[in-house]
Structure 1
C-alpha cells in the first residue's frame, strides 16, 4: 500500500454531535519530537496509535534539575484546518495530573517554539485535570505542541510531560463543515477557513471590503453593496451602517453630523461638540481635544488654558513675572500684573518702578534730604548712598541742616562770628553776606589793620595798662628783695658771701616782651 493510500485510509472520520471531522495523526507517517527524553520513553510513543496510559507505553521528558521547560511537538507533515486536539496523559501514578497543571496547547507552521500568543488553550493551573483531555483548537497549522514550563508538583526537580497518545482533528485545507464537504470560497484564493465556524484565516476574504473572519458583512470602515465605500474616519470605532454609511456608534470627539463629516462649530469641542473653549485666545481651540491653538487669554496657562497663572506670574500664557512689590505680599492680577497698592519705595500700576528722583517711601511721598553730589536717595529707606552734601549733618538721610554757627561737610566748620549784625554764615559755604566793621573776606575772619570799634580800642588800652602795672609791681619786688638780702647778709656774713643771685622779679622782668 502506498504512503498516500495509507494516509487516506487512516484519516477516518471523527464523529461528534452534528459534525464529522478527520483524525489527522497517522501511525507510521506522523512524527513527534520532545524537548528531552527520560531514558527510552521516546516521543514517537505519543503518535503510535496506542492509547494505553501505562508509562511503559508513553513518551516522557527528562527529570534533570535545571531544565526550565518541557514540550512535545507533533508534526502532521502539512498544514491542516484543525478543530481540536485530544491527548492521553499517564495515569499509573496520582501525581501526573498535578504535573500537567498550567500546560498549554500551541500551534505553528514551522519547528520554532511558538510564543504564548499562539496558544489555543492554556490551563489556569488551579483545577484537577483528567488524564484524557480534549480542547478546541481552531487553527491552520502543521505542528501541534503540548507545552509546560511550570513545576506544579512541589518536589519535582523540573517541568515534565508524560504523554501517551495525541490525536488531532480537522479537515484538509479549503474544506469545512459536515464531513469536510464545504469549500472556503469566501476566503482569499480558497484558502483555509475555520473547520467548525467557516472563519477565514489571516489571509482574509476573497473579496476586499468584507469583514473577516466570516467574510459575510462589510468590514469596519466600509459600506455599500460591494463594501467598497469608506465610512467616515470620524465615526466612533469606525463603525457605520453597511448600507447607508451612517455612523452607528456616534462620532469621534470633535465631529458631528450623521456621517460625522463636520467639524464642531468654533468655540466648541469634544464628544457631540458639547464642551466650550474657555479662556482660549479669540475663543479658538482644537475641535477634538480642546487645546487652545492660539494660546491663552491673559491670566491662564496649560494647553487648554484651564489653569490660572501660578503665583507671581501674569499675562499671555503666564510668561511675565509679577514685580513682587505689591503691598503686604499680595499677588499681582494674573491678567495684567497690576497691584492694589505698592510696598514702600515703588510706584506705578504694577509697582515695577522705583520712586522718582528725589523721592522715597510709601507712595513715594517723602522728599530726599541733602545727598552728596545731588544724587538721589535710596527709594525705600531715603538714605543717601554717598553721604551728605555741605550744610547737612551726617545722618543716614541727610535730613538735618547744620546748626547755627557751623557749616560745610558734616558741619565740622565753625562760622567766624563776624558776619554783619551777628547774622549766621551760610551753612554750606561758611560765607557771610557782609562783615562786621574791622573784618573782611567771604568768611569775615581777616582783620582790616586798625581797630574799628570802641571795644577793640578799649581792649588795647586795657592791655597797655596791665603791662604798666606789671612793670611797677616788678620794680617794687626787686627793691624789697635787695632790702631783705642786705639784712640777711649783715646777720650771716660768712655763709652768704659771694652767693648773691638775681632776684625772681629780675628774671620775670627779663622775660617780658615790649608792648
Structure 2
C-alpha cells in the first residue's frame, strides 16, 4: 500500500514533490493523540493516525469522520516541537474512483492545513489553503510540503461565508482516513534526520542543508558547525590561539583551557601567562634565586641571565658562597674569622669576631704588637694596654721614630747615641766621640785625658 501511495505522491503536480527519498523521514503523527470538532458514530479522530488506510469506506473502521458543521477541525499532537517537512493526507473515497462524480470531493474542497505550537490554529501558521481546485482536479491523496517547526498539525475546513464556489458542499465535514506528518526531531536536518551541528545560540539549523544561519557556537566551525576547532585554536570561529598546554596538548576547543595543566614557566587556565618575576617552572611553583640586581630569572628553567647577587652562585643563583668565599661570583676570600668560622657569604663579615692578630669587619687587617701579647680590638685594631716595645700608634703597627725606643716608644734614646735600637735603646752604631756605654751615657777616658793635657 505504501508503494502505491508513494507512486501517487510522485505523480502529484500541484505541490513540491519529494519522491523515493521521502521514505527516510519518520511519520511523526503515527499513533499520536488526535482530536476533532465532532465525531460521527465510532469514526474517532485517532483512526486517522493508526497507520491503516486500506479500506477507505465510511464503515471500514479505518477513517475519522464528523457530522456536518459550519467548521470542521481535526488535529494531531506530535508530542513535542518537530521539524516538519511534508504532510500526507488520504481522504475518504468509499473505495470508488476518485473523480468529479465521487461524492466526497465536494467535502474536501477548500480545506486548510495549519502548523501551530498550540491546539488553536489561529496561533499557528496557515501553510496551505485550497482556493483553486474543483471536484474534477482536486487530488487524493495529497502531499503538502511545509518545512516548518511546530507541535500540532491541524486540518481545517469551513462553510461560514456563502455563497460557496461551484462544487462545494453545503457544510464542512471531517473525512480523513490517514494523516501522515513526515519530518524529524528539532535540531535535525535532511532526509536522514541528521543532527544539527552547534549553531550559534542553539538555533535550529537549516532543515534541508544543515547550515547554521548565524554562524557557530564557540569552538566549532564548518558550514554545518559540526567540526571542533583544531590546530591549537579555540573560541569564536576558531580565531583564538591556544596557550602552552602541557606536553603540547591541544586546549579545549570552546574555552581554551588546558586539560592537564601548562608547560613549565606558564600559568593560568588558558596557559597564556608567563611566570612572574620571582617564580618559574611547572605551575610556577619554583622560586627564582637571587639574580643580579633583582632581575627576574628565566620563567622556564630559572636561570639568571646576568649572573647572581653578591654571595650567591650557580646557574639559578640558588646557592650561597662556601669554602671561605664571599661576594660577586664568590671570588673573594674570607678573612681570619674567629675559630675558623665562615664569613658572611655576601659581604665577608665575620659574625663571631676575628682570630687574634686580625681586626676589621672582614678580619683581613693585621693587628700591631700589643703589650704583653694581648690581642688587639677586633673592630678597630687598637691595643687596650698600649703597644709592645719598639712600636707605637693606634694599632701598634708603626716602628718607633728615630730617637725613641721601648714600650710605646716612650723612652728617648741617649743624645750621644748613633743608631739607637728601637727595642733596647742600644746604640748599634756606637757613640759620638767622648761618649761610651750601651746608651752612650758615659764620657770616655780619652776625653778626660784630653782635658788634663790642656
Q: What TM-score, normalized by structure 2, do the two folds share?
A: 0.43
Greater fraction helix: 1
Q: What TM-score, normalized by structure 1, do the two folds share?
A: 0.38
Between 1 and 2, higher relative CO (CA 8 Å, sep ≥ 6) is seen in 2
